[in-house]
């Protein structure tokens, strides 16, 4: 039996370890979970007991196979629910995360497999993130940050790095959605702001924006 709190720790460790970081530090987890390092130490011992993580004192943690399975399953549930909320219940993409944080902990294999079918087996969530299949397989698409695209590139928006409400609303306001086509026109050397063209309209976006928008060069 796994508690909701344990699930959240495992998810945090998964996300922190995603980009090649093998040993996730106590402090990093504490920051992600908005809790104190001492609480993390306690929980990490417990997760280690239950063999969800490998842990050696002062060395940080890594998810075990078992831990990874749990993590991927939660991510799968989170993203399927996000699709449901947007596709079926008319939520906008900046409103889904908090509710999905709750829904991802509902325990029922049938619920998720039926939901998956009902949504017609979506491959990506509303933010462009891939949805692991029932076996935990994640197919990644080759996306780059808009800040890394070359001048003259024709791109299509495929995801967001940050999915805060503020960022997503900015994109809405400027008619940038997943699937939007854009051309990279100019990069200003001084501040790395980027001029892009969507259809016929030009728009200047800051480096910070460009750093949080994933595109595929077409």
Partner DNA sequence: AATAATTTTTAGATTAATCTAAAAATTATT
Q: Does 2 participate in binding its own copies (rule CB under 8 A)? A: no
Judge contact between 174 and 110, C-beta under 8 A: no
Least spacing, CB of residue 99 vs its own copies, in Å:
5
Residue ranges of E strands in 82-167: 144-145, 154-160
Q: Does 147 participate in binding DNA (rule CB under 7 A)? A: no
Q: Does 44 participate in binding DNA (rule CB under 7 A)? A: yes
CA distances in angstroms from 122 to 25, 70, 113, 133, 206, listed in the order given: 34, 20, 12, 9, 32
Contacting its own copies (CB under 8 A), which of 107, 134, 139, 150? 107
CB of 65 or CB of 179, closer to Mn ion = 179
Give the SS3 label for residue 189: coil
Write phi, then psi, for 66 (nearest 5 degrees): -60, -45
Pattern 52-91, DNA, x by CB under 7 A? ---x-xxxx-------------------------------
# binding residues, its own copies (CB under 8 A): 18
Least spacing, CB of residue 39 vs Mn ion, in Å:
23
CB of 61 or CB of 205, closer to DNA = 61
Q: In whole angstroms, how large is the CA radius of gyration of the chain?
A: 19
């Amino acid at each position: 039996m796994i508690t909701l709190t344990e699930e959240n720790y495992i998810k945090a460790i998964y996300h922190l370890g995603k980009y090649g970081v093998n040993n996730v530090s106590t402090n990093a987890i504490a920051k992600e979970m908005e809790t104190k390092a001492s609480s993390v130490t306690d929980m990490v011992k417990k997760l280690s007991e239950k063999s969800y993580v490998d842990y050696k004192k002062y060395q940080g943690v890594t998810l075990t196979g078992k831990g990874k399975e749990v993590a991927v399953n939660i991510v799968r549930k989170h993203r399927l629910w996000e699709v449901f909320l947007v596709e079926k219940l008319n939520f906008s993409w900046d409103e889904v995360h908090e509710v999905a944080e709750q829904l991802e902990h509902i325990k029922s294999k049938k619920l998720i497999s039926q939901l998956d079918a009902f949504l017609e087996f979506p491959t990506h969530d509303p933010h462009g993130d891939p949805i692991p299949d029932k076996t935990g397989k994640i197919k990644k698409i080759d996306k780059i940050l808009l800040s890394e695209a070359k001048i003259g590139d024709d791109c299509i928006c495929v995801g967001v790095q940050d999915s805060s409400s503020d960022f997503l609303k900015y994109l809405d306001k400027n008619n940038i959605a997943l699937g939007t086509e854009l051309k990279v026109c100019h990069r200003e050397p001084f501040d790395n702001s980027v001029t892009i063209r969507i259809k016929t309209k030009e728009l200047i976006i800051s480096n910070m924006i460009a750093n949080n928008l994933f595109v595929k060069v077409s």
